[in-house]
Structures are given as C-alpha cells and as structure tokens.
Structure 1
Amino acid sequence: MKLPNKTCSMESAIAKIRDGDTVMIGGFGVPGTPMTLIHALVDHGACNLTVVKNDANEPGMGIDHLLQNGQVSRLITTHLGLNNHAIEMMNSGGIAVEFNAQGILAERIRAGGAGLGGFLTDIGIGTELAEGKQQIEFGGKRQIIEPALRANVALVHADRADTFGNLGFVATAQNFNTLMAMAADCVIAEAESLLPLGGLDPNNIHVAGVFVDHVVELNSLSKEYAVVQR
C-alpha cells in the first residue's frame, strides 16, 4: 500500500479551520510554537475561536496576533503572565479565560488523545481552579473530575517531517505538540525540514504520521523563532 503524500500549501491547510472551532496550538513559550501557521490563521480570519495553549506568548508574538485581531473568544491555558495584552483582554471581558495547572492541562489533552472522558485528581481542591467542577469521593479522598480536552484542529511545529506526516521535535519543542497531535480531529504541522518517506530515523519520530493530516514546509524562520534558531 502506498502511503499518501500529505504536503500542501499553508493556505489550503489553514482553510480547514472554521468560525467557532476549538484550536490547540503547541508550544512552551517560543519553542514549539507554530508561528507561521498562526500568521496564516490571522490572514484566514476564522473567528470566535477557542484556543488551547500552554501560554499566551508575549505581546506581538505567537497567539497574541490572534488576540489582537479579535479572533479568540475563549482561551484555555496555564498562565498569561508574559502577555499584558492578554491580561487586559481578560480583565475587560474581551476574552474568557480558563486556567489550568500545567500538568492538569497536559493530562486533559493526553486523555482526549487516548479516547478517555476525563480523569480524577485532588490537585486544585479548595482553590479557584476547582470552582464549578464536579467533585466526588474516591479512595477516601475528595477528587475533581477533570474532563478530557479535544479540538477540531491542532497546529504544531516540528523540526523535521516526512511527506506522510511523521514528525520529529527538538528538545522542549516536544512539550505540548506531541499530546495535541493526538487530540484533534485535524492536525496541521509546519516543519523546518521536509524529507521523503523513509528519511526520518524511526527512533527519532515523536508523532506518527497516522495522526497528522497536513504538512507544510517552512522556507525560512521569522524573527519570532529567534530563540530556537540552531
């Protein structure tokens, strides 16, 4: 069986995103954040988006472009501390923000990728993070029911990919990218280098191509990627 070639243009891939979609965006600060795909999403203009990302990047960088363009209605994240613009939007009611402990966010995404409905944890009991969440007694302890997270689309940044969509990341760029690539109905990957099928060392593949729908090769890295240029 011949495996499909999943490479495509940036525009045709991003066109899959519709108004009201939930979009997971990889990255931990700059490393692993798909900056170019984000700019393409800004140009595409899909609005009323729920964005799932570990952080809000910094002003004028990453998902801040989506926030400034008014495309995000809800942000599911762990912190906004580096982006005063995102904080101002939250305080003024411009966006709804759902905070999660970092490990909880990662596990909610992992559970979504594994086909689970959620999981139990005592992390957050007695804090604002538990407000509005269902709780039960289990194992002699009070537990929060944390629902799994899935998305319509995930945008991820890879160091390398092949034409089938097998992906490899570098260092901390693995962060949320691997989890998100398994928790979305459609996965779009931007890759710094694109290799033919079989060009990746199987031991260095972090996401199997079966999870990836579209691959876009980056011709260059903008200044927003400066901290991870190697």
Structure 2
Amino acid sequence: MARARLERKTKTSGEKLTTLEDAVARIKDGDHLAFGGCLFSRTPLALIRALLRRRPRGLNISRNLMCYEGEWCMVAGAVDKVVTSWMGIGLPWGLSKIVREYVESGRVPVEEWSHLGIGLRYRAAAMGVPFLPALTMLGSSLVDVGGSKII
C-alpha cells in the first residue's frame, strides 16, 4: 500500500519556496511538526514565533535535540506531546524549570527515543513506511519509555 502510493507520487521536485505566512498557514491543529536545526543552531525561530501567534492547539512536536522551541510551544499551550532524544540547552545549566514543570506535572508527555531511533522514524516517514527495524534501543530503558515496539 505504501509502495503503491510512492509509485503514484509525482517525481518532480516542484516549487518549494514559499512565504513564512504561507508555510504557517499550512499547519493545522493536531499536526505533528518535526523541527529542523540542532539545539539553538539553525532552529526556524521565525517560523515558530509566527506559528505560535496563531495560537495552535494539539500539536505533537519532534526534534532530535529539542531546545527553546519546545519550551515556547509548551508555555503557549500548543503542544499535546513532545517526541525527542534530548530536551534542554545543555549540561551547564541543568534541566529547564519550564520543562520540569510541564513534564513532571503530566501536562505535556514526552516520548523519548535514541538519537538514531528518532532519525530512523523520520527516514521511515520519508519512505512512506510505518517503521524501520533497528536494534538501537535494545538493552536500554528507552524501550520502556518511548513508543518503540519489539517485534
């Protein structure tokens, strides 16, 4: 089924440039957004600010290394779930008080994956398949706290 859908898909890359407003308008309540960049480097902050001005609700957000954008989305009340392998600015300052408050209180659940595991989730989605098999989290507690399954 996924393969047939991919085979029918237009092969041209098409026009990919758009305005910030148009990009934000395409995001609907309940969507899953995967942010690019790494921690505070190359994060699409202008896009995130424009998105949060629209006051979205029910978003699931994911990123390999989550930083400020996750906190902003939590405080704005835009997020139902965070999927990540790391959340915070870094070790010197410890865990953010915002993250601690929202996660420990259960207001925003966090699904934790290994760095490779979350990357393979993105790869599977790009390929149009439900998952890619991997051994990356076996032998760790991530099998119990994330959304992975042993098959």
The TM-score bracket by the shorter chain reads 0.7 to 0.9
Structure 1 Cα separation of the partners of residues 16 and 129 of structure 2: 28
More off after superposition, 114-123 vs 27-36: 114-123
Structure 2 Cα separation of the partners of residues 30 and 90 of structure 1: 21
Asked whether 1:54 is paired with 2:64, we answer: yes
Q: Which of 35, 51, 55 is matched with 1:41 structurally?
A: 51
Q: Per chain length, whose mean CA-contact separation is higher, i.e. which structure has more relative contact order (CA < 8 Å, sep 6+)?
A: 1
User: Hey, which of these two has a bigger chunk of helix by percent?
Assistant: 2
Query: What is the DSSP-based 3-state SS (H/G/I as helix, E as strand, rest coil) of the residue aligned with 1:38?
Result: helix
Q: Which of 90, 109, 125 is matched with 2:103 structurally?
A: 90
- The CA deviation at 1:71 is 0.5
More off after superposition, 107-116 vs 80-89: 80-89
Amino acid of the structure 1 residue aligned with 2:122: I
Q: Is the contact made by 2:60 and 2:80 (CA closer than 8 Å) also made in structure 1? A: yes
Q: Which of 73, 80, 104 is matched with 2:80 structurally?
A: 73
- What is the TM-score when the length of structure 2 is the normalising length? 0.76
Q: Is the contact made by 1:20 and 1:50 (CA closer than 8 Å) also made in structure 2? A: yes
Q: Which structure 1 residue ranges, 4+ long, deviate > 6 Å from structure 2?
A: none
Q: 1:130 to 1:9 in 2, by over 3 A?
A: same
Q: Larger radius of gyration, structure 1 or 2? A: 1
Q: 1:14 to 1:127 in 2, by over 3 A?
A: same
How do 1:57-136 residues align onto structure 2 when only pairs under 5 Å count?
A: 57=67, 61-82=68-89, 83-84=95-96, 85-131=98-144, 133-136=148-151
Q: Is the contact made by 1:80 and 1:87 (CA closer than 8 Å) also made in structure 2? A: no
* 1:16 aligned partner: 26
Amino acid of the structure 2 residue aligned with 1:40: A
User: Hey, which of these two has a bigger chunk of strand by percent?
Assistant: 1
Structure 1 Cα separation of the partners of residues 18 and 124 of structure 2: 29
Query: What is the DSSP-based 3-state SS (H/G/I as helix, E as strand, rest coil) of the residue aligned with 1:53?
Result: strand
Paired residues, number: 131
Structure 2 Cα separation of the partners of residues 126 and 7 of structure 1: 43
Stretches of structure 2 that go unaligned for 5 or more consecutive residues are: 1-12, 90-94
